[in-house]
Amino acid sequence: MAEIQTGTMPGRTRGMGELIDIAGKVTEIAPFGRTLAELASERSDIVGLTADMGRYSDILPFRDAHPDRFFNVGMAEQNLIMIAAGMAKTGKIAYCTTYSVFITRRAYDFVALACAHSMANVKIFAGMPGLVNGYGATHQATEDLNMMRGIADLTIIDPCDATELKQVVRACADIPGTVYVRNLRGKVPVELGPDYVFEVGKAKVLRPGRDVGIISTGYMSARALDAAAQAQENGKDAGVLHVPTIKPFDAKTVLEFASRFDRLVVAENHKTSGGLTSLVIETLYDAGIAKPLIKIGLEDSFFECGSQEYLEAKYGVDTPRFVRAIVEGR
Amino acid sequence: MTVLNHPPSEVDLFALKTRALNLRRKMMMMASGKGEGYIAQGLGMADCLATLYFHEMRYDPQNVGWRERDRFVLSTGHYSIAMYAVLAEAGVLSADELPTYGLNGSRLPMSTFDETPGVEMVGGSLGHGLGQAVGMAMALKLDGSSARVFCEFSDGELQEGSTWEAAMGGATFKCDNLVALIDCNGIQADGPVTVRIDPVADKMTAFGWETLEVNGNDIAALTRALAASREKNGKPKAIVMRTTPGFGIPTIMARDRAHFVRIDNSEWTALIEELERENG
Ligand SMILES: Cc1ncc(C[n+]2csc(CCOP(=O)(O)OP(=O)(O)O)c2C)c(N)n1
Ligand SMILES: [Mg+2]
């Protein structure tokens, strides 16, 4: 996308809040929209919708390839979800985009009842989840997992990188019912190896480890891998379990993984209440397991505006925070 | 702040135009410092804000919490650059603070928050303004206050259901102390306004609002419309403003993609020169 610019100016936000460039990482441009365009060439039942966020949600490659199946409903998120539900109930698979906050906070009722309750084939690709954004609380979906988890019969996916996101776009077409995906847009890093396979409802061990077990979701799993590599130099071997599907939750794999370690770290680009951390703790408790656990995530607050680097360091979700948790156990 | 209850004289109009130019200067300083921003919308709104803050509204820059103040509710949070410019011009904010626009830890973020003195609401999630303005107008009436509420919102916000829910409320609760200033600049995030919103004035009228349509970059026309909006006749007032994004700087006015401008330093410098050449 022409919008995307490389390099960050110190102390400055990035205008429209794409993921920051991390030195030395391979990236892919607009993996969501490109994959959707491909998939739609294979399947005529796919439609794509946005609420005035086409340019900023990476759906334009789909629009350009299939203009007759693309609909911009204007800045009307409730209507976006209602129209998508209506199309889904009339035989289409409706992929929709806008930012996470506007789906979760504004259109919640419609996602729950027009979509999830009817198992409508609506696939919501929600942009800029978590702290990936310089605009402050109005644009930071820091409680979206918590909110969406509250909706029955909804599938929730938080992909790690471009490799996974592309597989998720395809998988969604075959997952029955409504799916909420935390979309990654712009220049999306490639973190997972070419052999990585996404399976809905399955957590994946990315690194076996010995000393401490990190359970993470979304791009925090990439942070975990980076930090684990750094911590190796300090003689600590961290394992990483990536949990892309938040709902349905893979309790079995989480328990197997957790039981191998004396201490755990849980990490998410979300508040530490109501999302992955809560799920892990509930799962351990139900299984009668109690062990030291460090939470890496956001406090229960509204967050200010600023560059991603600034915010991540300030709120303790950057790579050094992970290294400290692994090496020093605090 | 004195309210001019008479039509503005040539002298007043000249003073307002100077204010509007000052606002544009301030906005260009902020956007060029940050390297990006919603400058086109800000420039388009300068005439309206100059007219409100230096002609129509009653407020005390030294006491932004004054209960009897007229409220200006900026619904379109990304127009923050225009809000900060007028707050600085009015003496609510110090001009020294403006260069922090959008920087880490700044009180002047890219989108408005009510921690900033003089800002009445949190504005980045669009479609929040009119309903809150209706609530403020209702509470002021309940208190027997003569203060009024001026609520700006954008043409994009006319696509949000919440705006129309609020429009019904404003008429139902007879908010004749409320003036909606609808910034129809013809653009939204993905380009030209796509989903049909016109005829805006007819729609507002049908919803029970007394409605006028003006060129939002014509200060004299704005003063007349605002004077008409003072009438206490049991109806809320709406002023549909046709504004030109980038007004005052032809290069920005001609820009294809005006919603968000990110250009390099030399281009910003050239645009500032253009502003002075065209208006100075
Ligand atoms: C509820 C909500 N939905 C979507 C957005 C993202 N967004 C930011 S600006 C914008 C365009 C809105 O139209 P308008 O205010 O007329 O835009 P402009 O004239 O500034 O281009 C959109 C969709 C938002 N901020 N809030
Ligand atoms: Mg507009």
Domains of chain A: 3-189 (3.40.50.970), 204-327 (3.40.50.920)
- The predicted model scores a pTM of 0.94
User: Is A6 a residue whose pLDDT tops 60?
Assistant: no
| Secondary structure of B178-240 as H, E, C letters | EEEEEEECCEECCEECCCCCCCHHHHHHHCCCEEEEEECCCHHHHHHHHHHCCCCCCCCEEEE
How many contacts, defined by CB atoms under 8 Å, are there between A and B?
99
What are the pLDDT digits (tens) for A261-296?
Answer: 999 999 999 999 999 999 999 999 999 999 999 999
Poorest-confidence range of A295-299, A306-310, B5-9? B5-9
Which of A12, A75, A139 is facing B159, going by the closest CB pair? A75
User: Is A18 a residue whose pLDDT tops 70?
Assistant: no
Tell me if A74 and B188 make a contact (CB, 8 A cut-off): yes
Nearest CA-CA partner of B21 in B233, B186, B219, B231: B219
Tell me if B77 and A137 make a contact (CB, 8 A cut-off): no
- Of B121, B188, B255, best ligand 1 pocket probe by most atoms within 8 Å of the beta carbon: B188
* Ligand 1 atom with minimal separation from the B77 CA: 25
Poorest-confidence range of A61-65, A305-309, B38-42? A305-309
User: Is B110 a residue whose pLDDT tops 80?
Assistant: yes
Sheet with B210-215, edge to edge strand ranges: B71-74, B149-154, B178-184, B237-242, B210-215
Tell me if B105 and A307 make a contact (CB, 8 A cut-off): no
What are the pLDDT digits (tens) for A114-138?
Answer: 999 999 999 999 999 998 777 889 9
Could you tell me which residues come within 8 angstroms of residue A175 by beta carbon, excluding any fewer than 6 positions away? A123, A155, A200
What are the pLDDT digits (tens) for A213-229?
Answer: 999 999 999 999 999 99
Tell me if A105 and B125 make a contact (CB, 8 A cut-off): yes
The residue of chain B with its CA nearest to that of A15 is: B36
User: Is A10 a residue whose pLDDT tops 60?
Assistant: no
List the single best residue of A52, A72, A78 to mutate versus B (max B Cβ within 10 A). Answer: A52
The residue of chain B with its CA nearest to that of A141 is: B125
- The pLDDT score that the predictor gives to residue B6 is 63
Tell me if A50 and B190 make a contact (CB, 8 A cut-off): yes
**What's the average model confidence in pLDDT over B8-13?**
86
**What's the average model confidence in pLDDT over B253-276?**
96
Tell me if B105 and A306 make a contact (CB, 8 A cut-off): yes
Q: Residue B54 carries which DSSP code? A: I
B41 CA distance to ligand 2 middle (Å): 8
- Per DSSP bridges, beta strands A93-99 and A122-127 are parallel
Name every protein residue with a CB atom under 6 angstroms from any ligand 1 atom. Answer: A 52-53, 75, 77, 102, 106; B 38, 41, 76, 78, 124-127, 154-157, 185, 187-189, 259
User: Is B19 a residue whose pLDDT tops 80?
Assistant: yes
What are the pLDDT digits (tens) for B176-233?
Answer: 999 999 999 999 999 999 999 999 999 999 999 999 999 999 999 999 999 999 999 9
Any idea which residue has 């653009």 for tokens? Answer: B187
Tell me if B262 and A15 make a contact (CB, 8 A cut-off): yes
Q: Residue B55 carries which DSSP code? A: I
Tell me if A305 and B111 make a contact (CB, 8 A cut-off): yes
In chain B, residues with a C-beta closer than 8 Å to the C-beta of A138 are 77, 111, 113, 122-125
- The pLDDT score that the predictor gives to residue B105 is 87
Tell me if B161 and A15 make a contact (CB, 8 A cut-off): no
Give the Cα separation of B212 and B32 in Å (integer): 35
What are the pLDDT digits (tens) for A137-175?
Answer: 999 999 999 999 999 999 999 999 999 999 999 999 999
Q: Coil, strand or helix: which one is B266?
A: helix
Our CA-based measurement puts residue A131 at a distance from the nearest CA of chain B, in whole angstroms, of 14
Mean pLDDT for chain A overall: 93
What are the pLDDT digits (tens) for B137-158?
Answer: 999 999 999 999 999 999 999 9
Nearest 10 degrees: Cα torsion B16, B20, B25, B28: 170
Instruction: List the alpha helices (DSSP H) in B56-154.
Output: 80-89, 129-142
Which of A53, A138, A304 is facing B125, going by the closest CB pair? A138
**What's the average model confidence in pLDDT over B64-88?**
98
Which of A50, A134, A310 is facing B110, going by the closest CB pair? A134
Give the Cα separation of A296 and A315 in Å (integer): 9
B192 to chain A, any CB pair closer than 8 A? The answer is no
Any idea which residue has 């998988």 for tokens? Answer: A171
In chain A, residues with a C-beta closer than 8 Å to the C-beta of B160 are 75-76
How does residue A245 score in pLDDT terms, banded at 50, 70 and 90? Answer: very high
Ion ligand 2 nearby residues (CB, 5 A)? B 154-156, 185, 187
How does residue A22 score in pLDDT terms, banded at 50, 70 and 90? Answer: low
The DSSP string of A67-129 is GGGEEE--S-HHHHHHHHHHHHTTT-EEEEEEEHHIIIIIHHHHIIIIIGGGT--EEEEEESB
What is the Cα Rg of chain B in Å? Answer: 17
List the single best residue of B195, B198, B268 to mutate versus A (max A Cβ within 10 A). Answer: B195
User: Is A21 a residue whose pLDDT tops 80?
Assistant: no
Our CA-based measurement puts residue B273 at a distance from the nearest CA of chain A, in whole angstroms, of 24
Give the Cα separation of B146 and B198 in Å (integer): 33
* Ligand 1 atom with minimal separation from the A138 CA: 25
Mean pLDDT for chain B overall: 96
Q: To which CATH superfamily is domain B13-279 assigned?
A: Thiamin diphosphate (ThDP)-binding fold, Pyr/PP domains (3.40.50.970)
How does residue B107 score in pLDDT terms, banded at 50, 70 and 90? Answer: very high
Percent of chain B past pLDDT 70, that is, above it, reads 98
The domain locations on chain B are 13-279
In chain A, residues with a C-beta closer than 8 Å to the C-beta of B104 are 11-13, 305-307, 310
